[in-house]
Amino acid sequence: MTLQELYKQLRVSLSESDARYVLKKRTGLSHADMIANPGQSVDEEPILNDLELYRQGIPLSRIYGEREFWGMRFELSDATLDPRSDTEALVEAVVARYKDNPPENILDLGTGTGCILIALLSEFPQAAGVGIDLSAEAIETAKINAQQNYVADRATFLQGNWAESLDESFDLVVSNPPYIAKKVIQNLDESVKNHDPTLALDGGEDGLQAYKEIFSQLFPLLKPGGRAFFEIGFDQEKSTRRLSEESRFSIISSYADIAGHTRVVELVPENISGDK
Ligand SMILES: C[S@@+](CC[C@H](N)C(=O)[O-])C[C@H]1O[C@@H](n2cnc3c(N)ncnc32)[C@H](O)[C@@H]1O
């Protein structure tokens, strides 16, 4: 089949950029090569196989085992969440907050692919960081990603139950913990519930279990002046505010998505914000 014929076939199911991505993955041709010679013939079999998998509901990121996040390439494994563009909002909020006063050390709880920590280490070249995950397999994937994105010398990845085994404090703690209520998981899109690991999604009965556990560990993890940033579910602002107050933290800033839902909250110990 010619490149052009294949492209047309891919476009029935895929966006323009996804169709080009699939062709590039399987042929190794650059966009310029494709435009220069659309009539060249290519082996269609692997590409049509990928298209079939995609039509069966497997996301391209799972077919190729990779995802772009914050302009960087991240490997995925069965044990890692497929990083979401939503989570780039957390990185953006942190970068804006620390642009004039970069953190020296960063803790990422529930690191998965390591995408948040690795993106932040790339933004703050003087910083070092620790990423923790309960999944040993996720930790292995995060280490590969740190290496492939040139921050491995500043990143330490540890298996653990949140920060339970840590005896260190940080300028900055970040986390995108699992926050989907257990009963909602079965209603999620097939591409999520069949491919993202349950450990990365399951926030317990009310979706808030991880916040409760992390907030209870948070105080000694922060250096004086330290801050913590959490991604939250679209309907969790009120409940995370209540939980943070119960743990004597204040939400001093929140960041909304394009639909107006708060998706990132910034916490400090309550005496620092002057509340109460
Ligand atoms: C929503 S995913 C986020 C992954 C990654 N940070 C991201 O933003 O793409 C939550 C992560 O928390 C990890 N996790 C779940 N329970 C944990 C626990 N008790 N201690 C440490 N990590 C945990 C999961 O394995 C998963 O990697």
- Per-residue pLDDT, averaged over 102-113, amounts to 98
Question: For position 271, what pLDDT does the model report?
Answer: 74
* Angstrom distance (rounded) from CA 131 to CA 119: 12
Rg, C-alpha atoms of the chain: 21
| Beta strands 128-133 and 105-109, pairing class | parallel
Query: What is the per-residue pLDDT across 131-150, written as a single tens digit (0 to 9) for each?
Result: 999 999 999 999 999 999 99
E runs forming strands in the chain: 66-69, 72-75, 105-109, 128-133, 155-159, 170-175, 222-231, 249-256, 262-269
Burial class (CB in 10 A: 0-12, 13-18, 19+), 97: middle
Tokens at residue 221, please?
A: 């993890």
Percent residues over pLDDT 90 in the chain: 96
Q: CA 55, CA 246: separation in Å to the nearest integer?
A: 47
pLDDT at 272 over 80: no
80 Cα–ligand 1 center, Å: 8
- Look at residue 191 and give its three-state secondary structure: helix
CB distance 109 to 222 below 8 Å: no
Summarised one tens digit per residue, pLDDT across range 192-234 is: 989 999 999 999 999 999 999 999 999 999 999 999 999 999 9
Q: For the residues 156-185, what does the mean pLDDT come to?
A: 97
Q: Which CATH superfamily is domain 78-273 in?
A: Vaccinia Virus protein VP39 (3.40.50.150)
Tokens representing 30?
A: 């650059």
- The bridge status of strand 105-109 relative to strand 170-175 is parallel
Arithmetic mean of pLDDT, 181-195? 92
CA of 252 to the centre of ligand 1 (A): 24
Using CA positions, which residue lies closest to atom 26 of ligand 1?
A: 200
Given a cut of 50, whether residue 275 has pLDDT beyond it is no
Q: Where are the domains of the chain?
A: 3-56, 78-273
Q: Give the pLDDT band (50/70/90) at residue 276.
A: very low
Ligand 1 geometric centre to CA of 200 (Å): 5
Contacts of 26 (CB under 8 A, 6+ apart): 42, 43, 46, 47, 50
Q: Write down the pLDDT at residue 61.
A: 97
Q: Give residue 49 CA to ligand 1 midpoint distance, Å.
A: 32
Global pTM reads: 0.95
Q: Whole-angstrom Cα distance, residue 223 to residue 201?
A: 29
Residues with CB under 6 A from ligand 1: 81, 83, 87, 110-113, 115-116, 132-135, 138, 161-162, 176-178, 199-200
Residues 244 and 240: their CA atoms lie apart, in Å, by 6
Q: Helix, strand or coil for residue 118? A: helix
